[in-house]
A and B are shown apart, each in its own frame.
Chain A
């Protein structure tokens, strides 16, 4: 069984030791103008290296840069797109975390690749492939306050072109795995036809990297198997114990590779490795689990770092068991 492991995206920026809190301190000092932007960047670089190392030590096969530079899922990208203003705090889905809402004040335009230098930095420091994470254009549009475009779809199409440019730059730089996070579609399933059009733009002529569509904060009920029509190679979904997606998968054959979010990162309670192995075998009844990725349900940032690390280790432990079982 060719099972590989990865995490959904972000990794906790700080831990509980003084050493592990350097980014928090640096941001604080930067706010008080005690350190320069370069000093702050240096700390972000160090922490990025640290979290890549932790993922590799945990035994993961594909890593992310931990999204250490992102202050929230929206503003890191939106703040670098011309035409956006960044506004007040809004709750991010059903979590107790917040993002600053982007406001589209004028036509949105691509300035330069945001993720490219981050990807290059991370890949140079990782022995494992680094997957680049992008917030998808549909979710970006949906969580934006639109003060400029006459119609929502115009906003979404412009963002689709911008995210396409980001992905294109990543692909050209040799990035093998690109992920688009699109939680918002699960709350607005009636928009599927538009969503498919958006992804025609996003993925146009991208053929080198493997593209993952990450769908969490809900179930695929009502859009499955239609969602498989999106031009990506892999679908990421929540598959924690008892999640509705287990029933959804029974309703149709999954024709894409899967990133199965079997480890719950919204709770500290540890899953047992036998439960997780069982879940993977169960998955095999519904889908072809060759090239399966085992992952976390959500970003690891919902957990304290110490728990995040344990959950990452659990993933690789389960994958090891499964590989061992299939060899014997």
Chain B
């Protein structure tokens, strides 16, 4: 199939789950009660993705808070800090490395299996990459960023191997922080090499918000099959870069602005895909939103995804 559709990973949590997470944090409900609601929400999102015809599914990360903190909470060697602000009125708790990082048990495998058992379509295994976990954590233990990052790479590799063993055909290792410090791109590439080494699954990474002109085309050396990029937020300006040096890996084409409440029109999304088709061969394009949709309301996210799938289908017909 050409132009397979997917999402970047996180989907909005329904109100009942947001409420339950709050109640759990206050000790008002049990872990089991929370988990049953997380499963309910996961099931609903799998059903929705099937219903609208998305090709590669995600579990929606109903059981995760922050993409870095979630892993840090499950790895030995991390503590979790107080709240720090990312922008506006949004805050998160940052991991603090206080000892050697170790993975005591698989972190995401059970959730992957739960979601995969609900559908015949492939579900992506979703991980956060070592460079991003390092960059978004405080470090009170390792002597250097490099030491910290490469240790995390080994730990994330173990998790990726377990996902593959559990049947994941697609493993996404998100590295949104990679675009931030061009001087450390080599380190990020080296770390990803450790994560994906020996994997047979199709691997991809998601990168966003950064100074792409400074890391392109070098970033194509990140050893994954596909790089998923945010393109709508910057009006597809990045395509100009790809005209200068061809985009050699597969691309996850971000066609929905995840920070806007407004639902794109089908024509807008079609125009974005068509723009990309002029620069990148159709066999290399996967269609997705710019980033995780977790910050949108459930109905907003659903409306956006419907438009994305319908627009993609219409473009597909013109190409066959």
Q: Choose one: A14, A31, A268; the contact of B83 (CB below 8 Å).
A: A14
> What's the Cα separation between A213 and B81 when bound, in Å?
32
Taking CB atoms and an 8 Å cut-off, the chain B residues in 65-109 that contact chain A are: 81-89, 91, 94, 96
Does B50 sit within 8 A of A, measured CB to CB? Answer: no
Q: Closest Cβ of chain B: how far from A168's Cβ, in Å?
A: 31
Q: Which residues of A contact B257 (CB under 8 A)?
A: 88
Q: Does A269 contact B (CB under 8 A)?
A: yes
Asked if A272 is at the interface of the complex by the 8 Å CB criterion, the answer is: no
A94 within 8 A of B: yes
- Pick the contact of B180: A12, A31, A94, A268 (CB < 8 A): A94
B259 within 8 A of A: yes
Complex Cα–Cα for A27 and B259 (A): 18
Asked if B210 CB lies within 8 Å of chain A CBs, one says: yes
Q: Does A35 contact B (CB under 8 A)?
A: no
B91 touches A24 (CB 8 A): yes
Q: A16 near B82 (CB under 8 angstroms)? A: yes
CA distance A53 to B177 in the complex (A): 36
A106 to B88, CA, bound (A): 26
Query: B209 an interface residue at 8 Å Cβ cutoff?
Result: yes
A98 partner, pick from B89, B138, B209, beta carbons under 8 A: B209
Binary CB contact string for chain B from 203 to 242 against chain A (1 if under 8 A, 0 otherwise):
0000001100000000000000000000001100000000
Q: Looking at the complex, which one of B91, B140, B209 makes contact with A14 (CB distance below 8 Å)?
A: B91
Does B300 make an interface contact (CB < 8 A)? no
Choose from A96, A98, A305 the contact partner of B135 (Cβ within 8 Å): A96
Whether B84 and A12, one on each chain, are in contact in the complex, defined by CB atoms closer than 8 angstroms, is yes
Instruction: Tell me which residues across on chain B come within 8 A of A98, comparing CB atoms.
Output: 86-87, 209
In the complex, which residues of chain B have a beta carbon less than 8 angstroms from the beta carbon of A12? Answer: 84-85
* Of A13, A16, A94, A100, the contact of B85 (CB 8 Å cutoff): A13
Q: How far is the CA of A302 from the CA of B87 in the complex (A)?
A: 11
A31–B89 alpha-carbon span in the complex (Å): 10
Is there an interface contact between B82 and A305, defined as CB atoms closer than 8 Å? yes
Number of interface residues of A (CB under 8 A): 31
* A contact residues around B85 at 8 Å (CB): 12-14, 97, 301
Q: A88-B233, A91-B210, A98-B209 are in contact. Are A268 and B140 (CB under 8 A)?
A: yes
Task: Report yes or no: A267 in contact with B138, Cβ–Cβ below 8 A.
Answer: yes
Assembly CA distance A303 to B140 (angstroms): 13
A89 neighbours in B (Cβ, 8 Å): 87, 209, 233, 259
Contact of B84 among A28, A99, A304 (CB under 8 A): A304
Contact with B along A79-122 (1 / 0, CB 8 A): 00000000011110010111110000000000000000000000
**B138-154 residues at the A interface, CB under 8 angstroms:** 138-140
- Complex CA gap A14/B87 in Å reads 13
Q: A24-B91, A27-B89 are in contact. Are A269 and B82 (CB under 8 A)?
A: no
* Number of residues on chain B facing chain A (CB within 8 A): 26
Q: Once bound together, how far apart are the Cα atoms of A304 and B137, in whole Å?
A: 12
A16 and B25 alpha carbons, distance in the complex (Å):
14
Q: Which residue of B lies closest to A305 (CB)?
A: B82
Q: Are the C-beta atoms of A267 and B82 separated by less than 8 Å?
A: no
B88 x A71 contact (CB < 8 A): yes
- The reply on A15 being an interface residue by CB < 8 A is yes
**Contact flags A7-19 to B (C-beta < 8 A → 1, else 0):** 0000011111000
| Among B87, B135, B181, B259, residue most surrounded by chain A Cβ atoms (within 10 Å) | B87
Whether B136 is near chain A, meaning CB under 8 Å from some CB there, is yes
A45 within 8 Å of B by Cβ? no
Known: A91-B210, A267-B138. A304 touches B81 (CB 8 A): yes
Nearest Cβ on chain B to A309's Cβ, whole angstroms: 11
B259 touches A88 (CB 8 A): yes
Contacts of A99 in B (CB 8 A): 87
Report the separation of the CA atoms of residues A71 and B139 in the bound assembly, to the nearest whole angstrom.
26
A96–B136 touching, CB < 8 Å: yes
Asked if A173 is an interface residue, CB under 8 A from chain B, the answer is: no
In the complex, are the beta carbons of A268 and B209 less than 8 A apart?
no
Question: B140 contacts which chain A residues (CB < 8 A)?
Answer: 267-269
Tell me whether A269 and B87 are in contact in the complex, defined as CB-CB below 8 angstroms, given that A98-B209, A307-B81, A307-B82 are known contacts. Answer: no
- Check A194 for interface membership: any CB of B closer than 8 A: no
Is A1 in contact with chain B by the CB < 8 A criterion?
no
Residues of A within 8 A of B96 (CB): 268
A181 to B210, CA, bound (A): 22
Quick one: closest A residue to B93, CB to CB? A304
- Give A99 to B210 CA distance when docked, in angstroms: 13
- Neighbouring B residues of A302 by C-beta, 8 Å: 84
Q: How far is the CB of B121 from chain A (nearest CB, A)?
A: 32
Known A88-B233, A96-B177, A267-B140; contact A304-B209, beta-carbon cutoff 8 A: no
Q: Mark A296-319, 1 if CB is under 8 A from B, else 0.
A: 000001111111000000000000
Q: Which residue of A lies closest to B140 (CB)?
A: A269
Q: State the CA gap A16–B94 with chains docked (Å).
A: 13
> CB of A200 within 8 A of chain B?
no
Known contacts: A94-B181, A97-B86. The answer to whether A269 contacts B259 by CB under 8 A is no
**Residues of B close to A27: CB separation below 8 A:** 88-89
Closest B residue by C-beta to A306: B82
Residues of B within 8 A of A13 (CB): 85
User: What 4 A-B pairs are tightest by C-beta distance, nearest first?
Assistant: A304-B82, A98-B87, A268-B138, A269-B140
Q: Which residues on B are within 8 Å of A, measured CB to CB?
A: 81-89, 91, 94, 96, 135-136, 138-140, 177, 180-181, 209-210, 233-234, 257, 259
Which residues of chain A have a CB within 8 Å of any CB of chain B? 12-16, 24, 27-28, 31, 71-72, 88-91, 94, 96-100, 267-269, 301-307
Q: Would you mind naming 18 contact pairs between A and B with Cβ atoms under 8 Å apart?
A: A12-B85, A14-B85, A16-B83, A31-B89, A72-B87, A88-B233, A88-B234, A89-B87, A90-B209, A91-B180, A91-B209, A91-B210, A96-B135, A100-B87, A267-B138, A267-B140, A269-B139, A301-B85
